[in-house]
């Protein structure tokens, strides 16, 4: 399936290559570089590129292209999903997935890639299994290894590979047994000029951090499971139990994992927690434009809207801006024309605003499109869909774990057209 992998950085250099079958010359990447040159933005490089003898399937993460070389028919999503899994694993191991981190840990990277694919077919992608085979590098372990000559590589087949619960290793022990669940919801929305919602939907995830001894069997139930319209599960969740009773029953992996992601579709009503009043105008013939933006909270059930960040790609004709934020700081990059305003927390008594003028290229005609405004924000202690966890029970182990559930709402792709 996957023949070779090339890692290409933003400046177009191949800084790592790995082959699972016969070696493929790196000149195959020339086709990729051609496509890269043609694309105006890094994101515009097509994910699938045919070449005379191979096919290149690439993903772009952290400004690194992961280019897989394929020789024959394979579902493209199979490769894409795998490449993303590779990035996730690197991130898990090294904390970040940057060119520097990969170069620093090139041996571990190679050992990982060797275990993840055999003859181009995925072998071990579960992070728990990989961590038993190859221990993640830590400063302490690197030092100990250099002194004692011991290794990072496990000698036994990871227990997970053979067990019925491949995601969990045996013999987990903790002195403090804890299970934390974060319900995080993101609102994707498009708001039109007049402030009415064109489309809005909620994407939610439940991320868990479970540190429990032994083989605990957990059940998690919701107050209003009916809300969960479309869900996808970590393989540990027993699907039939969910179908029948709407209860999540699972033996959790050890550590951090995503238990569930769900979708509350646009057919349901979605509360929009912020509103934007805007007045952005360019006048014909004048080299000045007006910019006036005010933010305010609505339908937040009394919770504060925090970490608000507004960004907008202004038209090319704008030379500079002279704006006055009532709170926070704003920057405008005259080269990329990107305006960002770090607002912080919205105080409902004193609504934050950004007002002032924009200077335009003299003599140029007025831009035909008004900029789109992207907004990011966070609301703690609230899941905007109203999803609520009812209870969490543990079976199979005797001790009493510490349990915690946190809710948060964030803006996903939240756009306001002006």
Partner 1 sequence: FLSMSTNTLYNDQGGAEAAVEVGQESTPTSSGTAAGFGLFSTDFKKNEDLKEMLESSKESLKLEAMKRIVGLIAKGKNASELFPAVVKNVASKNIELKKLVYVYLVRYAEEQQDLALLSISTFQRALKDPNQLIRASALRVLSSIRVPIIVPIMMLAIKEAATDLSPYVRKTSAHAIQKLYSLDPEQKEQLIEVIEKLLKDKSTLVAGSVVMAFEEVCPDRIDLIHKNYRKLCNLLVDVEEWGQVVIISMLTRYARTQFTSPWKEGATFDENNEKAFYDSEEEKKDQVEAKPYVMDPDHRLLLRNTKPLLQSRNTAVVMSVAQLYWHLAPKHEVSVVTKSLVRLLRSHREVQYIVLQNIATMSIQRKGMFEPYMKSFYVRSTDATHIKTLKLEILTNLANEANISTILREFQTYVKSQDKAFAAATIQAIGRCATNISEVTDTCLNGLVLLLSNRDETVVAESVVVIKKLLQMQPTQHCEIIKHMAKLFDNITVSMARASILWLIGEYCERVPKIAPDVLRKMAKSFTAEEDIVKLQTVNLAAKLYLTNSKQTKLLTQYILNLGKYDQNYDIRDRTRFIRQLIVPNEKSGALSKYARRILLAPKPAPVLESAFKDRDRFQLGTLSHSLNIKATGYLELSDWPAVAPDQSVRNVEVIEPVKEWAPSVGKAKPPKQDDKFYSDSGEDDHEEEEGEEGSESSSSEDSSSSSSDSSSSEGLSFCVCIWVNIPTFGPVKSHELLHHMTGKGLSARYHFPRQPCLYQPNMVAVQVTLTNGSDHSLEEIHIGDRSPASLNLHCFNTIERLEPEASVTVSMGIDFSDSTQAANFQLCTKDDQFSVSIQPAVGELLMPSSMTEQDFCKEQGKLLGMNETSATITLAAENSSSQSLSKQVLSVANVGVVSSSENNIHRFAGRTVSSGALVLVTAESRESSTALLTINTDKSIMASMLLRDLKQALAQA
Q: Where in 320-379 is the site for partner 1 (CB under 8 A)?
A: 365, 368-369, 372, 374
* Candidates 81-89, 168-176, 280-288, 355-363; binding stretch for partner 1 (CB under 8 A): 81-89
Sequence-distant (≥ 6) Cβ neighbours of residue 41 within 8 angstroms: none
Q: How many residues bind partner 1 (CB under 8 A)?
A: 125
Window 23-62: residues binding partner 1 (CB under 8 A): 23, 26, 40-41, 43-44, 46-48, 50, 55, 57-61
209 versus 227: smaller Cβ distance to partner 1: 227
Least distance to partner 1, CB of residue 417, Å = 6
Q: How far is the CB of 396 from partner 1 (least distance, A)?
A: 12
Q: Which residue has the tokens 């995601």?
A: 167
Q: Do you know the residue count of the chain?
A: 418
Q: Which residues contact 229 (CB under 8 A, 6 or more apart)?
A: 262, 263, 264, 265, 268
153 binds partner 1 (CB under 8 A): yes
Least Å from the CB of residue 239 to partner 1: 5
| Identified binder of partner 1 from the candidate list 11, 37, 75, 335, rule CB under 8 A | 75
Q: Which stretch binds partner 1 (CB under 8 A): 156-164, 206-214, 287-295, 352-360?
A: 156-164
Cα(213)–Cα(400) distance, integer angstroms? 11
Which among 280, 310, 282 has a CA at the least distance from the CA of 296? 310
Nearest CA to 203 among 276, 120, 268? 268
CA dist 58 to 5, 6, 249, 269, 368, Å?
Answer: 9, 9, 36, 37, 35
Let me know: does 96 contact 39? Beta carbons within 8 Å. Answer: no
- Residue 389 CB, nearest distance to partner 1 (Å)? 8
Least distance in angstroms from the C-beta of 402 to partner 1:
15
Residue 380 lies near partner 1 (rule: CB under 8 A): no
Query: For residue 237, what is the DSSP state?
Result: B
Alpha-carbon distance of 407 to 378, in angstroms, equals 11
Largest CA distance in the chain: 78
Residue 159 · residue 230 · CB < 8 Å? no
* Cβ distance to partner 1 smaller for residue 324 or 334: 334
Residues of span 261-280 touching partner 1 by CB under 8 A: 261, 263, 265-269, 271
Q: Contact, 94 vs 64, CB < 8 A?
A: no
Q: How far is the CB of 355 from partner 1 (least distance, A)?
A: 23
Closest to partner 1 by CB, 10 or 123: 123
Concatenated DSSP letters for 334-375?
A: TTTTEEEEEEES-BTTB--EEEEEEEE-TTPPPPSSPPEEEE
CB of 111 to partner 1, least distance (A): 6
Token pair for 123: 């072998």
Q: Which is nearer to partner 1, 96 or 106 (CB)?
A: 106
**For residues 168-187, which are near partner 1 according to CB under 8 A?**
none
Candidate residues 69, 70, 206, 274; the one interacting with partner 1 per rule CB under 8 A: 70
Backbone angles phi, psi at 301, to 5 degrees: 50, 40
According to DSSP, the residues that pair with 49 across neighbouring strands are 56
Which residue, 217 or 327, has its beta carbon nearer to partner 1?
217
Residue closer to partner 1 by CB (options 266, 287) is 266
CB nearer to partner 1: pick between 226 and 350: 226
Residue 245 CA from chain centroid, whole number? 30
Touching partner 1, residues 188-247 (CB under 8 A): 188, 190, 192, 198-199, 201, 203, 221, 223-227, 229-235, 238-241, 243-246
Per-residue interface string for the shown chain with partner 1, residues 92-131, x marking contact by CB under 8 A: -----------xxxxx-xxx--x---xx-xxx-x------
By beta-carbon proximity to partner 1, the closer residue of 175 and 230 is 230
């Amino acid at each position: 399936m996957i023949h070779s992998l090339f890692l290409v950085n933003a400046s177009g250099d191949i800084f790592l290559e790995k082959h699972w079958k016969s070696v493929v010359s790196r000149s195959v990447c020339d086709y990729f570089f051609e496509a890269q040159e043609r694309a105006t933005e890094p994101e515009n490089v097509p994910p699938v590129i045919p070449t005379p003898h191979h096919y290149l399937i690439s993903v772009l993460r952290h400004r690194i292209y992961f280019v897989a070389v394929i020789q024959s028919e394979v579902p493209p999503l199979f490769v894409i999903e795998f490449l993303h899994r590779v990035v996730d694993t690197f991130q898990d191991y090294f904390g970040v997935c940057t060119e520097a981190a990969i170069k620093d840990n090139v041996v571990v990277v190679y050992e990982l890639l060797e275990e993840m694919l055999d003859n181009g077919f995925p072998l071990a992608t579960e992070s728990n299994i990989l961590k038993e085979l190859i221990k993640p590098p830590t400063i302490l372990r690197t030092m100990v290894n250099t002194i004692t000559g011991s290794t990072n590589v496990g000698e036994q087949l990871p227990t997970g590979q053979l067990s019925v619960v491949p995601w969990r290793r045996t013999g987990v022990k903790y002195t403090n047994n804890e299970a934390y669940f974060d319900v995080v919801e993101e609102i994707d929305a498009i708001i039109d000029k007049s402030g009415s919602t064109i489309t809005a939907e909620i994407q939610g995830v439940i991320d868990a951090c479970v540190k429990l001894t032994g083989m605990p069997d957990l059940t998690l139930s919701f107050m209003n499971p009916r809300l969960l319209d479309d869900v996808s599960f970590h393989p540990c969740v027993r699907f039939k139990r969910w179908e029948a009773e709407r209860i999540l029953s699972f033996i959790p992996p050890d550590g951090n994992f995503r238990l569930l992601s769900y979708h509350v579709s646009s057919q349901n009503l979605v509360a929009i927690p912020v509103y934007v009043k805007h007045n952005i105008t360019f006048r014909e013939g004048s080299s000045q434009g007006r910019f006036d933006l005010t933010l305010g909270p609505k339908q937040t059930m009394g919770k504060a809207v925090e970490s608000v960040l507004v960004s907008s790609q202004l038209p090319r004709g704008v030379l500079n801006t002279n704006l006055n934020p009532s709170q926070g700081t704003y920057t405008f990059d005259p080269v990329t024309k990107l305006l960002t305003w770090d607002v912080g927390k919205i105080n409902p008594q004193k609504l934050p605003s950004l007002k002032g003028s924009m200077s335009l290229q003299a003599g140029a005609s007025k831009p035909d499109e008004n900029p789109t405004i992207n907004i990011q924000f966070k609301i703690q202690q609230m899941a905007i869909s109203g999803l609520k966890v009812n209870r969490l029970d543990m079976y199979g182990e005797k001790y009493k774990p510490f349990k915690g559930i946190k809710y948060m709402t964030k803006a996903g792709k939240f756009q306001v057209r002006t």
